[in-house]
Amino acid sequence: MPELEQLLRLAAQASVQEARLAAARARLLARADSEGLLDVRYGSIESPLGTLLAAATSGGLVRLAFPEEPTDSVLERLSSRISPRIVESPAALDPWRRELEQYFSGQRRSFQAPLDWSLIGPFAQRVLQATCAIPYGRVLTYSEVAAKAGSPRGSRAAGNALGSNPIPVVIPCHRVLRSGGTLGGYGGGLPRKRQLLELEGALPPTLEG
């Protein structure tokens, strides 16, 4: 019995220590944030597509990565392209987490939380902004998106821009199909593209079943 009491006492002390460390970490993050020392915050978001890695700056969501993308590689790229001042801070992703949860549950048809376009080049921005304008439940072809981006003959370049979209789902590149209604490509894999189109009721009849 004394041994059990001792183990319980040690467990309680460990819990208190963990709570103190968590509180100290929260205070440190808050202070660093208030002094402008944090540039990128990241955390995980659970979804029907798997656990997504999300990262945001003061400008908005800058990256949303599928589960098969190695976290270290994603963070390394953010470090080289945005800033090495990166910290894990799941609470900072709450605005996008809420909107994604609402989207996947069928309660949201458009995203309002801000985006940071820092990882996207000028032409790709035009392509992805045209993609953002595709209404929920609708689709366009690669050539149609290229035309809306100001490059009617640039369907291949538009496809490359869509394939390298750093913020999938929120920037809905899944709504762009090949001419004739076939799925085309998707950075997260065609099963996920089909899943998203089915969620939105936008899967072409030729692909149903």
Q: What is the CATH number of the domain that holds 170?
A: 1.10.10.10
For residue 19, pLDDT over 80 is answered with: no
Tell whether 34 is covered by a domain.
Answer: no
Residue pLDDT, tens place only, 42-77: 999 999 999 999 999 999 999 999 999 999 999 999
Catalytic residues: 173
The CA distance from 167 to 187, in Å, is: 11
Average the pLDDT over 7-21 and give the result.
62
The CATH number linked to 63 is: 3.30.160
Residue pLDDT, tens place only, 122-181: 999 999 999 999 999 999 999 999 999 999 888 999 999 999 999 999 999 999 999 888
Domain that holds residue 85: 40-104
What pLDDT is stored for residue 134 in this prediction?
97
Number of domains in the chain: 2
Whether residue 78 sits in one domain with residue 131 = no
Tell whether 52 is covered by a domain.
Answer: yes
The CA distance from 71 to 88, in Å, is: 11
What pLDDT is stored for residue 126 in this prediction?
96
Average the pLDDT over 85-113 and give the result.
96
What pLDDT is stored for residue 204 in this prediction?
84
- Domain-ending residue, one of 72, 104, 136: 104
Q: Are 61 and 54 in contact (CB under 8 A)?
A: yes
The CA distance from 58 to 41, in Å, is: 9
Tell whether 158 is covered by a domain.
Answer: yes
Tell whether 31 is covered by a domain.
Answer: no
Whether residue 128 sits in one domain with residue 183 = yes
Whether residue 129 sits in one domain with residue 181 = yes
Whether residue 97 sits in one domain with residue 129 = no
Tell whether 19 is covered by a domain.
Answer: no
Whether residue 128 sits in one domain with residue 98 = no
Tell whether 27 is covered by a domain.
Answer: no
Whether residue 147 sits in one domain with residue 92 = no
Average the pLDDT over 13-29 and give the result.
58
Question: What is the average pLDDT value for the chain, to the nearest integer?
Answer: 88
Tell whether 117 is covered by a domain.
Answer: no
What pLDDT is stored for residue 175 in this prediction?
97
Whether residue 173 sits in one domain with residue 100 = no
Q: Would you state the structure tokens that stand for residue 206, as one six-digit string?
A: 């030729």
Average the pLDDT over 34-47 and give the result.
81
What pLDDT is stored for residue 99 in this prediction?
98
Please give the share of the chain, as a percent, with pLDDT higher than 90: 75
What pLDDT is stored for residue 53 in this prediction?
98
What pLDDT is stored for residue 181 in this prediction?
81
Write down the pTM of the prediction. Answer: 0.83
For residue 35, pLDDT over 60 is answered with: no
Return left, alpha or beta for 106; rule: phi > 0 is left, psi -120 to 50 is alpha, else beta.
left
Whether residue 87 sits in one domain with residue 44 = yes
Whether residue 202 sits in one domain with residue 166 = yes
